[in-house]
Amino acid sequence: MSKHAQDVKTQLEECKSKIAAEKDLRVPLDGERERMLEELAELKKENQTLKQQNARYERCDPKRLEELAAKKKVCKDGMTRWTDNLYEMESWIKRNNPGMNPEEIY
């Protein structure tokens, strides 16, 4: 057997002995661990339920509504700017080409 394999076996045996020693030191809690695990499972389930409820109310979050209002204002301002630009272009065309029919502009 190679030296590396022997070293690995030695380390494995040491780990197994440490695990056994720690198990011997563990104090039995008379079902306390099982009760705590059940409580943890219940709390995780409750947490999941609360997250789902929170997701339903997320649409009405005041912070989110403020963000939407700000985005709406930016969009409205952009729309107004482009509409103004179109009317400015139309009036420029009419000023610079007085003989042009309105049908030719559109």
Note down the domain range covering 74.
Answer: 64-106
End-to-end CA distance of the chain: give it in Å, rounded: 92
Question: Tens of pLDDT along 11-64?
Answer: 999 999 989 888 877 776 777 878 888 999 999 999 999 999 888 888 888 888
Rounded to whole angstroms, the Cα distance separating 89 from 87 reads 5
SS3 of 33-50: HHHHHHHHHHHHHHHHHH
Question: Which of 20 and 100 is assigned the larger pLDDT?
Answer: 20
Q: Provide the pLDDT for residue 1.
A: 65
Pair (71, 39) in one structural domain:
no
Question: Tens of pLDDT along 69-83?
Answer: 999 999 999 999 999
Element (H, E) at 62: helix 62-96
* Residue 25 belongs to a domain: no
Q: What is the pTM of this model?
A: 0.43
Pair (97, 77) in one structural domain:
yes
Question: Based on the structure, what is the number of domains in the chain?
Answer: 2
* Residue 21 belongs to a domain: no
* Residue 96 belongs to a domain: yes
Produce one character per residue of 80-101: b if its CB has 16 or more CB atoms within 10 Å, e if not: eeeeeeeeeeeeeeeeeeeeee
